[in-house]
């Protein structure tokens, strides 16, 4: 087997570990739509068009959001290895799939806050299980806001008066998607996967099947393979709901939002919180526009998440770093 390519003076093993951690980012249905080109003084992040879900994500926005999350992981992993990453978003001459270039600015040790986020990379999960009714403390909410601000984005915390209209949007978006045969067929390709598959959502991470009383978690990731819900296993009615927003539109803004979402998610994980995405309301264009008007016309909603205290959730499988190389 050929040696793994190395970058920034790191060993091949260190570089491989950096890409492994980058690949632990969240993505739509665990599609893992990223690739990397590794050169001695450069790592390029590319989107993988073959892994875009054209019905759910016709414009590739969620692909770029996922790649932005992978970029944040890459930055944290490099800082942990003693490399100060300097990032260029959407580089002009790196090819049509290039989303970011990462170069080394200097050698620098990671500070404690960065190390906490680095440790959280392997612990973060998309937790599709019910959360406990325990509220998220105000100081933790502030930490989530600060994490998103650090990536030049905004975090809108859904107010009590907004929950009713937002719940209606989520349900309408879900019904619209499930009425589309193409959407159902596309989603079925990624859900209910076997445990040893390196992509998609396995049954162990699917969460309990949906029931009519559920308010926020509507997608059934089990593909019909899950058993009935355990007694008392009910989804919470009042999770903390947050919307990660960019200040404008475009590829670079999508990548910023992905980094902001991941920094917030890792911050939540480091404080013992769980989270999962509620994607429908963002994926259906007309509903996303309603959400934009609800939270403020100057903001561009990129991701809606529920956050709270959840039971342990298993890690989903990942492709090996070698499979991600261009």
Confidence of residue 2 (pLDDT cuts 50, 70, 90): confident
Contact (CB, 8 A) for 241 and 305: yes
Whole-number Å distance between alpha carbons of 133 and 239: 8
Quote the radius of gyration of the chain (alpha carbons, Å).
Answer: 19
Average pLDDT over the chain reads 92
User: In the chain, what percentage of residues exceed pLDDT 90?
Assistant: 77
> With the C-alpha atoms ordered 51, 126, 237, 218, is the resulting torsion angle positive or negative?
positive
User: In the chain, what percentage of residues exceed pLDDT 70?
Assistant: 95
Contact (CB, 8 A) for 53 and 32: no
pLDDT digits (tens, 9 = 90+) for 37-67: 999 999 999 999 999 999 999 999 999 999 9
Whole-number Å distance between alpha carbons of 243 and 300: 10
- Interior angle at CA 316, CA 312 and CA 319, nearest 5: 155
pLDDT digits (tens, 9 = 90+) for 167-188: 999 999 999 999 999 999 999 9
3 state DSSP class of 188: helix
Whole-number Å distance between alpha carbons of 257 and 243: 10
Contact (CB, 8 A) for 152 and 254: no
Whole-number Å distance between alpha carbons of 94 and 98: 6
Q: Is the model more confident about 111 or about 90?
A: 90
Whole-number Å distance between alpha carbons of 43 and 6: 10
Whole-number Å distance between alpha carbons of 34 and 39: 17
Question: Rounded to whole angstroms, what are the CA distances from 203 to 80, 107, 192, 211, 224?
Answer: 33, 43, 5, 17, 9
Please, what are the domains in the chain? 12-122 (3.40.109.10), 125-310 (3.40.109.10)
Tell the burial category of 126 from Cβ atoms under 10 Å away from its Cβ (0-12, 13-18, 19+).
Answer: buried
> With the C-alpha atoms ordered 105, 110, 111, 116, is the resulting torsion angle positive or negative?
positive
> With the C-alpha atoms ordered 86, 22, 118, 3, is the resulting torsion angle positive or negative?
negative
Q: Which residues pair with 244 in a beta bridge?
A: 155, 303
- Interior angle at CA 41, CA 40 and CA 46, nearest 5: 90
Who's near 210: CB < 8 A, 6+ residues apart?
Answer: 217, 218, 219, 220
Q: Is the model more confident about 51 or about 216?
A: 51
Who's near 157: CB < 8 A, 6+ residues apart?
Answer: 141, 145, 240, 241, 242
Contact (CB, 8 A) for 322 and 313: no
Question: Rounded to whole angstroms, what are the CA distances from 217 to 76, 81, 144, 221, 324?
Answer: 30, 38, 21, 10, 31
DSSP H or E stretch at residue 104: strand 98-107
Q: What is the pLDDT of residue 176?
A: 97
pLDDT digits (tens, 9 = 90+) for 59-92: 999 999 999 999 999 999 999 999 999 999 999 8
pLDDT digits (tens, 9 = 90+) for 227-237: 555 655 678 88
DSSP H or E stretch at residue 198: none
Q: What is the mean pLDDT of residues 15-33?
A: 98
Closest Cα to residue 75, out of 6, 25, 39, 29? 25
Q: What is the mean pLDDT of residues 275-294?
A: 96
Confidence of residue 218 (pLDDT cuts 50, 70, 90): confident
3 state DSSP class of 46: strand
């Amino acid at each position: 087997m050929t040696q793994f390519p190395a970058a920034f003076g790191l060993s091949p093993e260190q570089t491989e570990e950096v890409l492994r951690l980058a690949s632990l980012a969240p993505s739509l249905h665990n599609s893992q739509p990223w690739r990397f080109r590794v050169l001695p003084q450069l790592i390029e992040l590319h989107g993988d068009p073959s892994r875009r879900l054209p019905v759910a994500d016709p414009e590739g926005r969620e692909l770029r959001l996922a790649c932005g999350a992978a970029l944040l992981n890459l930055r944290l992993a490099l800082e942990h290895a003693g490399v100060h990453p300097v990032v260029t978003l959407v580089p002009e001459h790196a090819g049509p799939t290039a989303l970011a270039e990462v170069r080394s600015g200097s050698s620098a040790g990671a500070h404690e806050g960065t190390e906490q986020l680095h440790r959280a990379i392997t612990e973060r999960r998309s937790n599709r299980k019910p959360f406990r009714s325990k509220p998220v403390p105000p100081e933790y909410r502030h930490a989530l806001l600060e994490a998103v601000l650090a990536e030049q984005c905004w975090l809108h915390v859904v107010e009590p008066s907004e929950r009713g209209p937002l719940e209606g949007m989520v349900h309408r978006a879900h019904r619209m998607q499930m009425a589309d045969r193409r959407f159902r067929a596309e989603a079925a390709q990624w859900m209910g996967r076997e445990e040893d598959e390196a992509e998609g959502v396995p049954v162990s991470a699917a969460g309990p099947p949906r029931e009519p009383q559920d308010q926020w978690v509507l997608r059934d990731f089990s593909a019909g393979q899950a058993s009935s819900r355990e007694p008392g296993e009910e989804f919470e009615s009042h999770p903390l709901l947050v919307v990660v927003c960019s200040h404008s539109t475009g590829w670079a803004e999508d990548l910023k939002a992905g980094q902001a979402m991941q920094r917030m998610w890792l911050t939540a994980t480091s404080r013992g919180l769980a989270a999962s995405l509620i994607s429908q309301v963002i994926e259906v264009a007309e509903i996303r526009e309603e959400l934009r008007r609800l939270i403020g016309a100057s903001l561009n909603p990129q991701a809606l998440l529920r956050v709270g205290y959840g039971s342990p959730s298993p890690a989903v499988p990942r492709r090996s770093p070698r499979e991600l190389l261009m």
